Chains A and B, each alone.
Chain A
Amino acid sequence: VAAMNAAKSKWSTTQEPTAYEDVISYNNFYEFGTGKGDPAQHAHALTTDPWSVEIGGLVNNPGNYALEDILKDMTLEERIYRFRCVEAWAMVVPWVGFQLSDLIAKADPQGNAKYVAFETLMRPEEMHGQKNGSFPWPYVEGLRMDEAMHPLTLMATGLYDEPLPNQNGAPLRLVVPWKYGFKSIKSIVKITLTETEPPATWNLINAREYGFYSNVNPNVSHPRWSQASHRVIGSGLFASKEPTEMFNGYGDAVAGLYDGMDLSKNF
């Protein structure tokens, strides 16, 4: 596979990235099954070319854009980010992508746009997990406008300097490193700017467990997993867990977005 030759970024962590093999074989992507190994096994069925993204809502340049036309105008960077799953495991992933803020700027948002809504592809014949009717397909997620415009917020198209494997959300996924992994919606086909808070899939399924914000927060107890610490993927059977940091360690860059908010209520 051709290297993407993405430029280095000041936003990258110096931590050692998780092994490529682990990054592409341990995934949550319920469109391909609920087991961690299911996406790697089944995601090859997904056609990612051609791919287009419908950008709409409160923007002055709405349209259905071919992915290659979007990428033409974007600067790809390598961003090595910590990735923290709500299930209390974590990785370090060398993503390749562009800032979501650049895409939103091109769409030219209108003044009353306050949120960004995202939607995953709905194609049950290729994403067999979508045949499970108990899940509210398609997967949707959302960010507040200032979160979406933050320089850390990435639209990833690759990892380890190669195009994204399907199981990691090819060809275009969101990465928001200070939020739990499920906010980082995969295989995006629709981006809509809205005035009101958009729905988010896990929040729809179980609002008590998954809030809209879903910021990594060791102080807000989750009814299912302690969020005080996490297991590092690939660290072996006898490794110690690591303490989880507020905002996954990105507090210096993003804490200001939540000034004056009670994060135990807006979790």
Chain B
Amino acid sequence: MSFSQTANSAARKVPAWPLYPILLLPGLWLFWSVLQSPGPNPVETLEHGLGEYALKLLVLGLLVTPLRDLVGVNLIKYRRAIGLMAFFYVCAHLLVYLVLDNQFWWDALVKDITKRPYIIVGVLAFVILIPLAITSNNRAIRKLGPKRWRLIHYGAYLAVILGAAHFVMLKRTWQTEPLVYLAIALVLVAYRVPKLIR
């Protein structure tokens, strides 16, 4: 049996639901370790850590299709869990920003959202992901029909690029790590372009 056949038969046997608690673990671990040893700037550690997990999961979700096309490994049944957990991390990231970082200081919040480009880009990515999260269930697919559902979920392409751009922009200089995320995001979206045009 080839690698892809082995992987696919394994994937048939392993259900998707355990992925939710499993993907929750790194976030819980991060929160726990920040409580245990806060270090100089625990809010920053938590905020940035959650944001990076969100970005990693968004990228992972976009890897499912090329993995099937190019390697023959079909992990499509896990994609919903990956996507929803990505949204969970985006929400947690936003919540830490709002509660621990901004501390509900509405005046500063309004200025952040209207004046600071990297925050605007990040909020935009969050807003784009909301309808995707709401429609990530079988009922919504049935109600919307596959065509409209797919159209909504093209938003993931924009969100991953904006998310990576948010990471690039918050740094004071051009830095390798966020640029690598952005490059990966752009490649993964560019991979879809021929199909989208057709």
Contacts and interface: CB of A to CB of B under 8 A. Distances in A.
Main secondary structure of the interface of B (DSSP, over half): helix
Given A25-B40, A34-B175, A238 B100 contact: yes
Nearest to A134: B174
Residue of B34, B43, B171 ringed by the most chain A CB atoms within 10 A? B43
Interface in B13-63: 34-35, 38-44, 46
B147 interface: no
Interface of B: 34-35, 38-44, 46, 100-101, 103, 105, 108, 111-112, 115-118, 170-175
A34 B111 contact: no
Given A135-B173, A237-B100, A238-B100, A231 B108 contact: no
Given A30-B173, A237-B46, A241-B103, A221 B40 contact: no
Contacts of B105: 229, 241
B43 A226 contact: no
Nearest to B169: A224
Given A34-B173, A228-B108, A237 B116 contact: no
Interface in A214-243: 221, 223-226, 228-229, 231, 233-234, 236-238, 240-241
Nearest to A30: B173
A240 B35 CA distance: 16
Contact of A34 (B44, B112, B171): B171
A36 interface: yes
6 contacts: A34-B171, A34-B173, A223-B116, A224-B116, A226-B108, A231-B43
A55 B44 CA distance: 40
Given A89-B41, A206-B172, A229-B105, 8 more contacts: A22-B39, A26-B41, A89-B44, A134-B173, A205-B173, A223-B115, A231-B101, A237-B42
Given A205-B173, A226-B112, A236 B42 contact: yes
Contacts of B34: 237
Interface in A146-185: none
A220 to B, nearest CB: 12
Interface string A29-58: 010001010000000000000000000000
Contacts of B38: 236-237
A233 B41 CA distance: 6
Contact of A221 (B44, B103, B111, B170): B111
A26 B116 contact: no
A207 to B, nearest CB: 14
B40 A234 contact: yes
Contacts of B171: 34
B40 A36 contact: yes
A26 B40 contact: yes
Contacts of B170: 224
Contacts of A231: 41, 43-44, 101
A237 B117 CA distance: 26
Contacts of A26: 39-41
